[in-house]
Structures are given as C-alpha cells and as structure tokens.
Chains A and B, each alone.
Chain A
Amino acid sequence: MIYRILIEPQSRAAGWKTLFKRPSLGAILLALIPFAAMCFSVPLWDRAEPLVLGIPFNLFWLISWIALSSLCLWGAYRLETKRDKKDGETE
C-alpha cells in the first residue's frame, strides 16, 4: 500500500479542476479577529477579577466574543458574496 501511494504515478489527476480561488483579503482579516481575541491574546484576559455582571472576566470575555465572532463572519459573508456577484458579472 505504501509503495503504491509513493511510487504510482498520479495519472488520473488530470481530471482535476482549477483549484478554488482564494478568499478575499478582507474576509481573511475579519476571520483573524476572533482568533486574535479568543486564542492568541489569552495571557491578557485570563483573569477572574473583576467580575463583570457577576461573571469572571475571562468567561465574560469569551462569551462576548462568541457574539462578536458571529458579527465578524457576517461581515466576511457580505464581502465574499459581493465579490462572487462581481465575478459573475465580469465572466
């Protein structure tokens, strides 16, 4: 099996279509915001104090970013569909 995977020529791959166009830069940047806020910046917000609305700060931070992430993706969706439409017209 290993031999077949490594040595056999990739002949039928000729049927492969052009790969997908990359997502627009704006959409990617919008998607990076939730990653920065919920993942990379963890040392900055991982504190119990102060309690916000009675909830520890880190938990409150994550809860807010669930909603904000949805908002970022909505923006990305707008950008992508606008681009798709434009591409459709130029074709």
Chain B
Amino acid sequence: MSPSGVALTIIFGIIAAGAGIGFLAGAHRKMDLEQWTVGGRGFGVLLTYLLMAGEVYTTFSFLGASGWAYSRGGPALYIMAYLTLAYVVSFFILPQIWEMGREYGLQTEADFFGRRYDSKYLAGFVCVVGVAFLIPYVQLQVTGLGIIVEVASAEGIGRTPAMVTAVVLVASFVLASGVRAVAWVSVLKDSLMVLAAVAIGIGVPYAHFGGIGKMFAALAHARPAHLTMPGATANLGHTWYLSTVLLTSLGFYMWPHAFAASFTAESGDTLRRNAVVMPLYTLTLAFIFFTGFTAVLVVPGLSNGDMALLAVVRNTFPAWFLGVIGGAGALTAMVPAAIFTLTAATLFAKNLYRPLFAPAMTDDQVERLARVMVVVLSLVSLSFAIYSSTTLVSLLLLGYAGIAQFFPGVVLGLYWKRATRRGVFAGMVVGVATVALLSLTKRDPCFGFNAGFVALCLNFLLTAIISLTTVPGPAMDRFHKHDLAPRGGRPFKT
C-alpha cells in the first residue's frame, strides 16, 4: 500500500472506532427530547468532565493553534491564557447557572434568558445570535477535517470531497445517538489527542534539532521577532492580546453548547471542582505550540498555516504515524462538530420555532424538527467551508466576538437584580451590530483593540444604563416556591 493509503486507512479506522463507541452508548435508551439534549441531567463528575473537555479541544486547538504559532508567532500565545482564564470565570457563574437550570428545568442558554428576563422574544433573539455564530465554529471543524484528509492523502484527495464526507459522517452520528454518545466518544478522542500532542511536541523538535531547547534556540536565532508579539503580524500587539484574552475568556462559557453542558452536571459543586482541575488540561497546548514553532524552520513557506502541524509530522514520521495523528485530529473535529450542530438545532427548534411560530408543537415534534435542522445546519456550514478561506483561528475569533455579547446579560442576570430585559436586549443588539459593522468593514483590530472587545464594552455600558432607567418588574426579589414545580432534587432553600 502507498504511504498515503496507509495513513488514510488508519484515519478512517479511528473514525469508525469512534462512531462505533457512539452508537453503542446511544443504544438501549429511549430517546426523548431531554435524553437527546441533556442526557437526562444525570451526568456525574466523570461524564460532565468528558463532555466539557470534549468540546474544549477542537480542531481549533489542534490545527488552529499550531497554525497560528507557525504563521503568526507570538500572538498565538493568547490561546493558552484565555483557556485558563475561562475556567477562572466559570468558577463564579456555572454553579449558579446550574442551580437555576435545575430549578426551572432549563435546557438551553435561550431558556435561561427567557426565564430570567421573562421574554420568549429575548430568548428567540439569543437563539438567532447563538446559531449564527455557531456556524463559523462548525465551519472551522469541517475545514479542519478537509485539511487532515488533504495532507494525509498527499494532496491526492481534494479538500471538498473530504469535507462532504466529513459532514455526512457527523450528521448521521448526531442523528443516531445524541449527547450521551458524544460524551463517550470524547474519551477516545481526548486520550488520543493528548497522546498525539505530547508525542509530536517532543518528537518533532527532537528529530530535527535534537531537543525542544535546541529548537527554540535555533528559532530565536533565525527569527528573533517571531516568538514575541506582534510576531509575524503588523497589528496584533499587546493591546490586542489584552483585549482578546478578556473577550474570549469571558465569552468562553457563553457558547450555547458550553452553557448547556453545565446543565448536564449532577450538582453545582461538580462544576466548581471541574473549574479547579480544568486549567491543567491546557498544558497540552504547550506541546502543540512546540510543534507549530518547529514547523517554522522545518517546513517554511506553506500557503496555509493550518497545514503546518500535519505537514511537519508527514515530514518527520512514517505514514502510519501520520495516520494516527490524522485520526486523532479527525475525532477532535468530529466530536465538537457533533456537539455544536446538536446544540444549534435544538436551540432553533425549541427556543425559536416552537414558542414563536407553533406553540402547539409536542416535544416529539420538536425533536423531529431538531433532527431536520441538524441536516440543514450541516449543509450551511459545509457550503461556507467550501467557499471561504480564512484561517481557523480567525473563524473562531469571529464567533467569539458575537457570542461574548451574551456575557453582560448572563452575569448581570445572576448577580444584579436591577438588570432588565430592555437593558439586556439593547446592549446585545448594539454589541452584535458593532461586531458586524467592524468586521464587515475590516476594522478589526480597531485602534489596536479586538473589535469584539470594543463591542462588549459598549454592550456592558448600555445594558447598565438602560437597566437603571427601566423598571425591573414587580417583586423581583421574591422567590415563590410554589410558582413552579422544581424538577426533582431537594426543595429549593429559601
């Protein structure tokens, strides 16, 4: 068999193993809406951890992070900082969100807004924004899968057919098994991913330079500016770093899938303990960076930086090893893509279509509509992936700029009684509009600041001002235990 044949066989073998685990985990369970979307709300520390970790490490951290280390240099370091700080933020909001979710039977982020601000229209707006900015994130995964197959086949298989295959696989996986399956496939995906990252992070610099230290010494000598900010870019300096780290670490748990994953936990305390441990997981990224930086000297001049990690692996190791790395990469794209489409489809059916257009729909019908939406959203992301050519990191930054606009509504909603629907709505509209305006007119970064950060500041300001000038509704400070039947668990403490 040719080297690319070996690599591709191993990649598809790993994908098949992942899909197999998924189908097994989904079997023998009655799939109602709650089971399909939040796994019956009974995940312990282990499954919650798996699900949350499963959606953190995507193609973005695998190919995107190494790609930026290769093509941009220093600015890529923002990724290490924001992932760590995101868990610090989560410590203060997730347990509270979980408690609210248990109390009111919330399943999605839009449910939260709808309930807290008592408006199905605000919930609908959150859906539209959430789904719109999840699409670039799915697109990112699909593009990553295309790159993997393209490099592994030695450019023998074009990126487009590879992406089409990937989308079909992801969609059928989601349709067959739901969220529980995704959590279990994460086990395979994450163990492979961590092993792969460490192996290449040490192996690649060793093979070419005789060690990580020697590699960095050579790079610091050959390209001294590459290792610090702004690196190989003109405008991604310290102001950009600061504003981007703030924007993305605050926005991290505003992703509808991350927000909804917290509802699957067993208790609020589980989430807090998770927050303490999760930063350590970010250490894996260091090895990805080592690989990306090595690629600068070993495979210079690639047209697309996102190919750097795989290109340098192909250049260093035998074909079967490229297959293992490619397979790990493929799962890190497919598992998150499955989570994102599942989340977006449920959001659309449950929080947008049913409350606004068809209030009489039953849960079964909602689930069926969500399944149709899985297919629709997959196709939309696929077409974006085929027709656009931005880097993986830029795609994610666009998503973050939009999604982070939920932050004021969530955090003020938890801790500030005076936050009102009108304030939150106005802030969000202005925030999203600012993001759209600045990124469509190519003004990102804006005076050195990340455009999404500028929008977030305006959003916060407006939310606060308008909330103070509008009436928060009567008796916001009383909780009537009997208004709503709590969903299981202990009765709410008063």
A56-91 interface (Cβ within 8 A of B)? 56, 58-59, 62-63, 65-67, 69-70, 72-74, 76-77, 80-81, 91
Q: Roughly how many angstroms separate A65 CA and B80 CA in the complex, as a whole number?
A: 10
- Contact partner of B415 (CB less than 8 A), chosen from A20, A40, A63, is A20
B92-134 interface (Cβ within 8 A of A)? 92, 96, 99, 103, 116-119, 121-122, 124-125
- Contact partner of A39 (CB less than 8 A), chosen from B211, B242, B282, is B242
Q: Contacts A1-B125, A46-B74 known; A17 to B492 CB distance under 8 Å? A: yes
User: B286 to A18, Cβ gap below 8 A?
Assistant: no
Contacts of A65 in B (CB 8 A): 81, 84
User: B415 to A19, Cβ gap below 8 A?
Assistant: yes
Residue with the greatest number of chain B CB neighbours at <10 A, chosen from A31, A53, A63, A66: A66
Partner-binding segment picked from B141-149, B212-220, B259-267: B212-220
Contacts of A77 in B (CB 8 A): 91, 272-273, 275-276
Least CB distance from A42 to B in Å reads 5
Least CB distance from A28 to B in Å reads 8
User: A10 to B272, Cβ gap below 8 A?
Assistant: no
User: B116 to A58, Cβ gap below 8 A?
Assistant: no
- Contact partner of A55 (CB less than 8 A), chosen from B212, B356, B425, is B212
Contacts of A91 in B (CB 8 A): 493
Q: Contacts A53-B213, A55-B213, A69-B88 known; A15 to B484 CB distance under 8 Å? A: yes
Q: Contacts A19-B416, A53-B213 known; A8 to B279 CB distance under 8 Å? A: no
Q: Contacts A1-B125, A16-B479, A20-B414 known; A73 to B279 CB distance under 8 Å? A: yes
Residue with the greatest number of chain B CB neighbours at <10 A, chosen from A17, A31, A47: A17
Contacts of B272 in A (CB 8 A): 77, 80
CB-CB nearest in chain A for B419: A19
Q: Roughly how many angstroms separate A31 CA and B275 CA in the complex, as a whole number?
A: 11
Contacts of B216 in A (CB 8 A): 51, 54-56
B450-477 interface (Cβ within 8 A of A)? 471-477
Least CB distance from A61 to B in Å reads 9
State whether the Cβ of B246 lies closer than 8 Å to any Cβ in chain A.
yes
Q: Roughly how many angstroms separate A51 CA and B224 CA in the complex, as a whole number?
A: 12
User: A34 to B84, Cβ gap below 8 A?
Assistant: yes
Contacts of B117 in A (CB 8 A): 10, 13
Least CB distance from A16 to B in Å reads 5
CB-CB nearest in chain A for B227: A48
Least CB distance from B116 to A in Å reads 7
B334-376 interface (Cβ within 8 A of A)? 356
Least CB distance from B126 to A in Å reads 11
State whether the Cβ of B325 lies closer than 8 Å to any Cβ in chain A.
no
Q: Contacts A10-B118, A19-B414 known; A5 to B125 CB distance under 8 Å? A: yes
Q: Roughly how many angstroms separate A53 CA and B215 CA in the complex, as a whole number?
A: 12
Q: Roughly how many angstroms separate A12 CA and B217 CA in the complex, as a whole number?
A: 64
Least CB distance from B162 to A in Å reads 33
CB-CB nearest in chain A for B246: A39
Contacts of A76 in B (CB 8 A): 91
B130-178 interface (Cβ within 8 A of A)? none
Q: How large is the interface on B (under 10, 10 to 19, 20 to 34, 35 or more residues)?
A: 35 or more
User: B91 to A73, Cβ gap below 8 A?
Assistant: yes
Q: Roughly how many angstroms separate A15 CA and B473 CA in the complex, as a whole number?
A: 11
Q: Contacts A10-B421, A34-B85 known; A17 to B286 CB distance under 8 Å? A: no
User: B483 to A42, Cβ gap below 8 A?
Assistant: no
User: B472 to A73, Cβ gap below 8 A?
Assistant: no
State whether the Cβ of B442 lies closer than 8 Å to any Cβ in chain A.
no
A1-45 interface (Cβ within 8 A of B)? 1-2, 4-6, 8-20, 22-23, 27-28, 31, 34-35, 38-40, 42-43
CB-CB nearest in chain B for A21: B415
Least CB distance from B418 to A in Å reads 10
Q: Roughly how many angstroms separate A23 CA and B242 CA in the complex, as a whole number?
A: 25
CB-CB nearest in chain A for B429: A2
User: B124 to A1, Cβ gap below 8 A?
Assistant: yes
Q: Contacts A48-B227, A73-B279 known; A63 to B273 CB distance under 8 Å? A: no
Q: Roughly how many angstroms separate A69 CA and B81 CA in the complex, as a whole number?
A: 10
- Contact partner of A51 (CB less than 8 A), chosen from B220, B483, B484, is B220
Contacts of A15 in B (CB 8 A): 479-480, 483-484
Least CB distance from B237 to A in Å reads 9
Least CB distance from A64 to B in Å reads 10
Query: What are the 8 tightest A-B residue pairs by CB atom distance, in nearest-first order?
Result: A54-B213, A17-B479, A10-B473, A13-B473, A48-B227, A15-B483, A38-B81, A13-B118
Chain B residues engaging chain A, CB cutoff 8 angstroms: 74, 77, 80-81, 84-85, 87-88, 91-92, 96, 99, 103, 116-119, 121-122, 124-125, 211-214, 216-217, 220, 224, 227-229, 238, 241-242, 245-246, 249, 269, 272-273, 275-277, 279-280, 282-283, 286, 289, 356, 414-417, 420-422, 425, 471-480, 483-484, 492-493
Chain A residues engaging chain B, CB cutoff 8 angstroms: 1-2, 4-6, 8-20, 22-23, 27-28, 31, 34-35, 38-40, 42-43, 46-49, 51, 53-56, 58-59, 62-63, 65-67, 69-70, 72-74, 76-77, 80-81, 91
Q: List 27 A-B contacts (CB under 8 A).
A: A1-B124, A10-B119, A10-B472, A14-B474, A16-B476, A16-B478, A17-B103, A18-B478, A18-B479, A28-B92, A31-B88, A39-B241, A39-B249, A48-B227, A48-B228, A49-B220, A51-B213, A54-B217, A56-B220, A56-B228, A59-B289, A62-B81, A65-B84, A66-B283, A67-B279, A69-B84, A73-B279
